[in-house]
Chains A and B, each alone.
Chain A
Amino acid sequence: MSTRTLLSPAALARPRGKAVYWTVFTGTVLLFVIAFLFPVYWMVTGAMKSADEVARTPPTLVPERWHVSGYTDAWELMQLPEHLWNTVVQAAGAWLCQLVFCTAAAYALSKLRPAFGKVILGGILATLMVPAQALVVPKYLTVADLGLLNDPVAIWLPAVANAFNLYLLKRFFDQLPRDVLEAAEMDGAGRLRTLWSIVLPMSRPVLGVVSIFALVAVWQDFLWPLMVFSDTDKQPISVALVQLSQNIPLTVLIAAMVIASIPMVAMFLAFQRHIIAGIGAGSTKG
């Protein structure tokens, strides 16, 4: 690193500086392992202990015998395949709807100069001031009136009303040079064609960010699916976990918690560079 930080490179090069640095470094690694990795380890191994061992005090650090039955029981008893599939359908649909409708709307607001475009954009940005959770009850009543309860559409369409993602897309489209789009038009490409073969390929980074936001939001959500899906067979995994947590053996519940965490953690580990860079960059630029 060329830029210096709070500590000067000279201070760190001194023997005393080096000793302090390595002490702090080791301390931080230990803290991170204990605070963030150990709970995850405890969860993964807790699911592999026997029902008797998991309730023992003092607890065992490593399972005496490794049981996989917690995981297999969770898979079957709690109908995890069904609930995971529900979550996948809800998340994928919300992602697709956002990509189609938010992208189209952002493109129109950015490049097609619709009448009252400013008013519409203002109305969309105003919803940023209204935190989503405060409106869940009237939103629920609207979804009920439309007959969408216990239907994944109740997740898909409200997900489109995401001012943050729409504004992110619009701002990105604003930066695309107008002459490129006009050139494509003169070439005889229609608006849809221009969007599909010029704008979207140029927007891959922002589409990636929006996709990740969309998927994570649905997978992690709890209150809204709790309200909308009273039917147990339709519930996503987050709601099912809480509903079933009362009358299921502890090891089975823990195993189900591990399984429920795997998809998003795996996605994070696969795209960690992009996600971490995106969080830092997106936020400092406002």
Chain B
Amino acid sequence: MTDTAQRRTVAKVAVHPVQAPPPAGDRRRRRLADQARAYGFLVGGLVCFALFSWYPAIRAVVIAFQKYTPGGEPEWVGTANFTRVFQDPEFSAAWRNTLTFTLLALLIGFAIPFVLALVLNELRHAKAFFRVVVYLPVMIPPVVSALLWKWFYDPGTGLANEALRFLHLPTSNWSNGADTALASLVIVATWANMGGTVLIYLAALQSIPGELYEAAELDGANLLQRVRHVTIPQTRFVILMLMLLQIIATMQVFTEPFVITGGGPENATVTVLYLIYKYAFLYNDFGGACALSVMLLVLLGAFSAVYLRLTRTEGESA
């Protein structure tokens, strides 16, 4: 379709006479008009980026050093916001929880989709079924997944304990126990999000040339050795990229703790983003919220920079 459209326009133009170049005096005016038109196209996008992306980034840093109440006159307070936030016992809990969550999500939420994609790539039947079913939870709104699992985790009538009883295993407190709450939330996040990882990793697996496996087999490599010496090195870049993306996403976890546990029990599931939300909307402390945002921003920015660096260099070498 693209091809014919292209040919049609080119053919139409060919019968036109070549236009004479405009006189020199007009050229500058013409260029100015071109610029005006270009900015006419740009302006809507620019205004939105300025208002909702660039300005908030600057503002986060500014307010982090202010006492700020909406509508009132902001007041410079130096690093008081940071020291106050540091002294909050919830601060260390939130960072500890967020980092543990990220680490657990990497261990559980990365290993499972990885193995699943490996298996799916070997199956020659019902391919469409597997792909649709694994991606189905991603399409369910995160709030619904969270509420669904909150119901599963119900200590009395929940499906999770019912399954344990069915298997004659001891029941658990799941999201209601201080020891198990964070891991329970990781299961929810993994269930809800792994479809994307599986599909992306599957696409990467399909790009591995079959001859490499043949050659490895001729060299006497068994199944595990082939995974280790062919599959993993061949998809190293995608693995790294998916890992970084997942770290960036899980460091911003909010919906699951907010909906399922409300940060409890005993602050076991308060995350950094949740704490930012609390500072802003429960304590009305926007300075503290922005100080926390800046810390999260710096850390995530570093991860993102690595990610962009990686994708950029890979794109150039390809």
Residues on A lying within 8 angstroms of B by beta carbon are 1, 3-8, 21, 24-25, 28-29, 32-33, 35-37, 39-40, 42-43, 46, 54-59, 97, 100-102, 104-109, 112-115, 117, 120, 123-125, 127-131, 133-144, 146, 157-158, 160-161, 163, 166, 177, 179-180, 183-184, 186-187, 191, 195, 198, 201-202, 216, 219-220, 222-223, 227, 237-239, 241-242, 245, 250, 253-254, 257, 260-261, 264-265, 267-269, 272, 275-276, 279-281, 283-284, 286
Contacts and interface: CB of A to CB of B under 8 A. Distances in A.
The 10 closest A-B pairs by CB, nearest first: A105-B45, A280-B203, A108-B41, A4-B210, A112-B38, A101-B44, A160-B48, A114-B38, A138-B56, A183-B13
A265 B136 contact: yes
B178 interface: no
8 contacts: A40-B136, A104-B42, A131-B304, A135-B53, A135-B293, A138-B55, A180-B6, A242-B258
B38 A113 contact: yes
A180 B9 contact: yes
B39 to A, nearest CB: 6
Contacts of B147: 241-242, 245, 253, 257
B142 A142 contact: no
B118 A269 contact: no
A112 B45 CA distance: 15
B85 to A, nearest CB: 13
A112 B41 contact: yes
A134 B10 contact: no
Interface string B69-98: 010000000000000000000000000000
Interface size class of B (residues with CB under 8 A): 35 or more
Nearest to A131: B300
A239 B203 CA distance: 35
B108 interface: no
Contacts of A21: 122
Contact of A280 (B53, B162, B202): B202
Nearest to B45: A105
A201 B230 CA distance: 42
Interface in B277-305: 277, 280-281, 286, 289-290, 293, 296-297, 300-301, 304-305
B44 A264 contact: no
A138 to B, nearest CB: 4
B308 interface: yes
Contact of A157 (B52, B273, B318): B52
Contact of A138 (B2, B12, B60): B60
B281 A198 contact: no
A179 B12 CA distance: 13
Contacts of B148: 39, 43, 257
B306 to A, nearest CB: 10
Contact of A184 (B9, B121, B128): B9
B267 interface: no
Given A123-B49, A138-B55, A138-B60, 12 more contacts: A6-B213, A8-B213, A113-B38, A134-B296, A135-B297, A137-B60, A202-B5, A257-B147, A279-B135, A284-B203, A284-B207, A286-B311
A180 B251 CA distance: 46
A264 B46 contact: no
B41 A202 contact: no
Contacts of A107: 41
B60 to A, nearest CB: 4
Contacts of A37: 133, 136
Contacts of A261: 139-141, 144
A201 B203 CA distance: 28
Contacts of B41: 104-105, 107-108, 112, 191, 195
A146 B47 CA distance: 13
A183 B293 CA distance: 50
Contacts of B311: 286
Interface string B158-198: 01001001100000000000000000000000010000100
B5 A223 contact: no
Nearest to A272: B132
A56 B162 CA distance: 11
A267 B136 CA distance: 11
Given A39-B148, A104-B45, A261-B140, A8 B204 contact: no
A138 B291 CA distance: 11
A238 B255 CA distance: 10
A250 B53 contact: no
B131 A276 contact: yes
B101 interface: no
B114 interface: no
A127 to B, nearest CB: 5
B139 A265 contact: yes
A250 B55 CA distance: 43
A94 to B, nearest CB: 11
Nearest to A127: B53
Nearest to B140: A261
